[in-house]
Amino acid sequence: MASTTETPGHTQPELASIPISDIAIEDGFNPRGEVLENDELRALAETIRNHGCLLPIRVRREGNRFVLVAGKRRYRAAQIAGLSEIPASILAAHAGEEPAERLTEALIENELRSQIDPVHRALAYQTLLEQGLTIRGIAERLGGTTGRRGREQRIKEHLEILDLPEQLQVRVGEGEIPMLAVKALRQLAEIHPDLASAAVKAVEPAEEYEEPYCWADVAAAPIQTAVNCCEQLPAGIYSTRESYPLESFNLSEQASADLAVLAEHGHAPELMGFTGPLVDRAAALGAVHDAGWCQIIAGQDVADALAADWLAEARKKSDEHAATAPSRNGVEHGTDAAEAAEQLRQQAAAERAHQCEQHDDAVAYNLRLGVLAFKHLARVKVDERVLRILTAVDVGRSLRVLAARGARLTAPGWVTQTEQKNGRTTTSYLEAHDAQQRAFEFLAGAKSVGEIAGRALTLIALAVHADEEAVAASNRSYYGVSFRGPFAEQAKNDLMELIAERIAEGELPALDERLGRGPNGQDA
C-alpha cells in the first residue's frame, strides 16, 4: 500500500490501493440511501471480479484506517467479488471533516456517476440545510458560481418533494410521479393531503368511457384536476356549488342558540350553501381556491365560522320579520261575500306559492345540473357514441341557441344569485349573445381531444335537460335540440347513456326521472 506524503498547504488526494478491511462506513452520508444486494449490484461485482475496480473510491484517512466518502456501491461490489484491496483516492486526514463537506463530496460523486433517486437527493439537500448551509451555499459547493441559479432552482424543486404525503414521496422516488407534477401536488397537499392523492389518481388508467388526465394537466390545473376526480370532497373541504346539512359544521354555543330561535320562529334551516358574502369572507381568510367550474373553501374551522355568521344573519332577519309581522288575531267576517272574497284571495295566494315553488325547484335543479355536467361531462373518452352525438348535433352553427337553452340557465359562474333583504334569492341570467360568447370561450379553452369533445357534449346535454320553468315565459328560448343525419335517433340514446354513466343515480332525482331511472337503479 502506498503512503501519503503531506506538504504544507497541499491537500492533493493520493491514489493508492488499500485493504478493504481497513475501510470504515459512516451512517447517514450516502445520498442514495442503503445499498441493497440486488441483481444490479451482483452484476457490478462480476465485472469487478473479472476486470478489477476501474474507478477508485474516495476515502478520508483517519489514523490507520480510512473512512468512506464516496463509492459505497463499488465498495460493496468489491466485497461480494472477494477482493482484498480496492483502488482509492485518499483525502488528507483533515479534509472533509465537517459533516456537510462529507455529504457534499458524496452528493457530487453520485451526481457525476449516476441518476440519484429524487427523494434521496432531496433528503441530502435537506441535511445540508440542517447543518447550516443555505440553498445558495449548496449550489456553489456543487458547482461553483457558474450556473448557480439553475442549481438553486433544482434544489428548491427537489425540497418540495419532502412536503408531499409520505406515500406520494415513495412514488416520486420510484419514478411513478415526475418532477413536473411535484410543485402542483405540494400546493394541493397544503390545502388537503387527499386532494394531492386525488390528482395522482386522475392520471391513472380511467374507466372505459373516460379519458385520463396527464401530468401536464395536473401541473397546469391541479385543483380542478383533483376536484374533478373526487367522488366526494375530503373532510373539511366544501364546494361553493353545494348545500350542506348543518350537521356538517361544529356549531358554537351562540350559533346553536341562533338555530334554536329560528326553530321557534318556524324558520329552522336544514341546509346551508356558501353564498357570495360568505365566499368573500372566506376569501379574505385565504381559504378560497378556484376549481374551474366551482370554488372550494378549505378548512373546517373556516366553514364553522361561516356557518355561525350565516345563522346569525338568518336570526337577525327572522327577528325583524317577527317584530313587524301583523297580528294573527282572527277577524270576524260580516257577510258571505267577504268570506268568498277571502277564499279567492287564499286560492290566488296558494297558486302563487305553488308557482314560486315550481320556479325555485327549477332553479335549484338547473344549478345542480350545471355543476354535475361541468364536473362529469366536460372531459370524455372519444368513442363511437360521442362521435355519433357530435355528428348529429351541429354545435358550431347552433352555439347561440344551445347556450341560451341550457348553459346560461345552468353553468357554474354563468348564473348570478343575490339574496334580498326579505330573505328571498333572485337569480339573474346572461343575455343570449353574452351566453354565446361565454360558450365560445368555454369551447376554445379545451386543451385536449377529450376536453374538446366533452365540452361540446356538455353544452348539448345542458340544452337537452335544462328546465326553462326557471325563467319567465318571455325570457325562454323555446329551442329544442335538433339531432339530424343517419345517427339522429341513436345519438339521442347515446346521450342518455353517457349522462347515466357519468352522473350517478341519486345525485339529482329530477334528472333520474328524465333518464328513466327507477328507484332501485332499474329503468322506470
The domain that contains 20 carries what CATH number? 3.90.1530.30
State the Cα–Cα distance between residues 366 and 476, nearest whole angstrom.
14
Q: Is pLDDT of 77 > 70?
A: yes
Same domain, 461 and 498: yes
Same domain, 386 and 312: no
Same domain, 375 and 467: yes
Tell me, yes or no, whether 187 lies in a domain: yes
Same domain, 283 and 370: no
Q: Is the dihedral of CA 82, 87, 93, 94 positive or negative?
A: negative
Reported as a pLDDT band with limits 50, 70 and 90, residue 277 is confident
Same domain, 315 and 399: no
Same domain, 205 and 303: no
Same domain, 174 and 295: no
Same domain, 169 and 297: no
Tell me, yes or no, whether 254 lies in a domain: yes
Residue 469's pLDDT is what?
Answer: 87
Tell me, yes or no, whether 1 lies in a domain: no
Q: What is the mean pLDDT of residues 196-215?
A: 82
Tell me, yes or no, whether 396 lies in a domain: yes
Q: What is the mean pLDDT of residues 190-202?
A: 92
Spatial CB neighbours of 244, under 8 Å, sequence gap ≥ 6: 238, 271, 272, 273
Same domain, 355 and 504: yes
Classify strands 271-273 and 243-245 as parallel, antiparallel or unpaired.
Answer: antiparallel
Spatial CB neighbours of 456, under 8 Å, sequence gap ≥ 6: 390, 395, 443
What is the chain's mean pLDDT, rounded? 83
Tell me, yes or no, whether 170 lies in a domain: yes
Residue 292 region, left (φ>0) first, then alpha (ψ -120 to 50), else beta?
A: left
Last residue of one domain, picked from the residues 97, 123, 150: 97
> Please, which residues bridge with residue 288 across strands?
297
Residue 8's pLDDT is what?
Answer: 40
In the block, cell 353553468 appears at 411
**Residue 273 phi, psi dihedral angles, 5° rounding:** -110, 155
Q: Is pLDDT of 99 > 90?
A: no
Tell me, yes or no, whether 522 lies in a domain: no
Share of the chain above pLDDT 70, in %: 83
Tell me, yes or no, whether 143 lies in a domain: no
DSSP for 132-187 reads: T--HHHHHHHHH-STTHHHHHHHHHHHHGGGGS-HHHHHHHHTTSS-GGGHHHHHH
Last residue of one domain, picked from the residues 54, 82, 97: 97
Same domain, 429 and 506: yes
State the Cα–Cα distance between residues 188 and 225, nearest whole angstrom.
10
Q: Which domain holds residue 82?
A: 10-97
State the Cα–Cα distance between residues 76 and 56, nearest whole angstrom.
13
Residue 160's pLDDT is what?
Answer: 94
Residue 454's pLDDT is what?
Answer: 94
Say if residues 455 and 446 touch (Cβ distance below 8 Å): yes
Amino acid at 381: K
Enumerate the H helices of 221-299 as residue ranges: 222-228, 253-264, 276-284
- Under DSSP, the state recorded for 68 is E
Distance of CA 477 to the CA centre of its chain: 36
Rg (CA), the chain: 34
Spatial CB neighbours of 78, under 8 Å, sequence gap ≥ 6: 20, 45, 48, 53, 86
Total count of domains within the chain = 4
Q: Give the helix/strand (H/E) hosting 69.
A: strand 65-70
Same domain, 287 and 383: no
Q: Is pLDDT of 396 > 70?
A: yes
| Strand runs labelled E in 150-287 | 237-239, 243-245, 271-273
Residue 328's pLDDT is what?
Answer: 44
C-alpha distances out from residue 370 to 33, 266, 275, 436, Å:
51, 31, 17, 16
Cβ atoms < 10 Å from Cβ of 204: 10
Last residue of one domain, picked from the residues 181, 200, 228: 228
Say if residues 124 and 118 touch (Cβ distance below 8 Å): no
Which pTM does this prediction carry?
0.64
In the block, cell 478489477 appears at 52
Q: Is pLDDT of 493 > 90?
A: yes
Same domain, 178 and 244: no
Tell me, yes or no, whether 151 lies in a domain: no
Cβ atoms < 10 Å from Cβ of 518: 11
> Please, which residues bridge with residue 425 across strands?
419
